[in-house]
């Protein structure tokens, strides 16, 4: 995962107090990074971290991590962090495919997946972050009763995802094809993609599933 055109990217990410590289080294001791021992909420595929930064500010009663596989995107988040003063979050350079090497079993209270790549071709279904292969990984690291919150603008991906959760025995707590018209809209923190799609009039799908 080399970052072109930025010298010593790893060192620059690690040097920032809100950015982390080599997440495997924190397995079993993520809570030691935070001032308070609180529920741990994790986002996979977080881009520059806008969603988790907003959510962590809104909910100081929890600790937050967001993972982004693209080092260049993680590095660019530094500019976004200049005006941030709360400290219950970290942006992590890491890949969702490695979650079992990064987290212990039953160690996460909630997972967020926001506007993941839909991989629309059937032959690429296993790459979707809501495919059963990934759902099985999430179940291992989520606590019993832990939740997964999933948002997308893609109709096909949402339909596929709902069926995958149901097929694999998750308890469906909430399903909507128009998030911004529900009672959850008031507490919703929008991602950059969500803001862009909403301005075009596109409905936002959301589901909340419980690990049982």
Phi/psi of residue 166, each to 5°? -65, -45
Q: What is the DSSP string of 95-158?
A: -GGGHHHHS-TT-EEEEEEES-----SGGGGGGSTTSHHHHHHHHHHEEEEEEEEEEES-HHHH
Helix (H), strand (E) at residue 52 = helix 50-58
Residue 10 has what pLDDT? 73
* Local mean pLDDT, 10-residue blocks, the chain (212 residues): 54 88 95 97 95 96 96 88 94 92 97 97 97 97 98 97 98 98 93 91 96 97
Quick check: helix, strand or coil at residue 88? coil
DSSP annotation of 193 reads H
- Contact predicate 181/134, CB 8 Å: no
Please say whether the beta carbons of 42 and 110 come within 8 A.
Answer: yes
Give the list of residues 6+ apart from residue 124 with CB closer than 8 angstroms, or none: none
Q: Among all chains, which residue has been given the structure tokens 């400290």? A: 87
Residues that are catalytic: 117
Looking at residue 120, its pLDDT comes to 96
Q: Domains in the chain, ordered, with CATH?
A: 9-210 (3.40.50.150)
What does R_g of the chain's alpha carbons equal in angstroms? Answer: 17
- pLDDT by residue (tens digit) across 45-91? 999 899 999 999 999 999 999 999 998 899 989 888 988 999 999 99
pLDDT score, position 8 = 67
């Amino acid at each position: 995962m080399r970052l072109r055109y930025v010298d010593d990217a790893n060192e620059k990410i690690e040097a920032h107090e809100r950015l982390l590289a080599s997440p495997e080294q924190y397995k079993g001791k993520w809570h030691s990074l935070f001032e308070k021992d609180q529920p741990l909420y994790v986002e996979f595929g977080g881009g520059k971290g806008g969603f988790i930064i907003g959510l962590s500010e809104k909910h100081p009663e929890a600790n937050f991590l967001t993972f982004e596989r693209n080092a260049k995107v993680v590095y660019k988040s530094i500019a976004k962090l200049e005006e941030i003063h709360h400290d219950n979050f970290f942006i992590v350079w890491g890949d969702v495919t490695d979650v079992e090497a990064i987290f212990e079993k039953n160690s996460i209270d909630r997972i967020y997946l926001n506007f993941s790549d839909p991989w629309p071709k059937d032959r690429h279904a296993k790459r979707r972050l809501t495919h059963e292969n990934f759902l099985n990984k999430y179940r291992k690291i989520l606590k019993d009763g832990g939740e997964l919150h999933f948002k997308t603008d893609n109709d096909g991906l949402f339909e596929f995802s709902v069926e995958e959760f149901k097929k694999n025995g998750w308890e469906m707590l909430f399903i909507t094809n128009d998030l911004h018209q529900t009672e959850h809209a008031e507490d919703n923190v929008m991602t950059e993609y969500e803001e862009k799609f909403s301005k075009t009039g596109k409905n936002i799908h959301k589901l909340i599933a419980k690990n049982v």
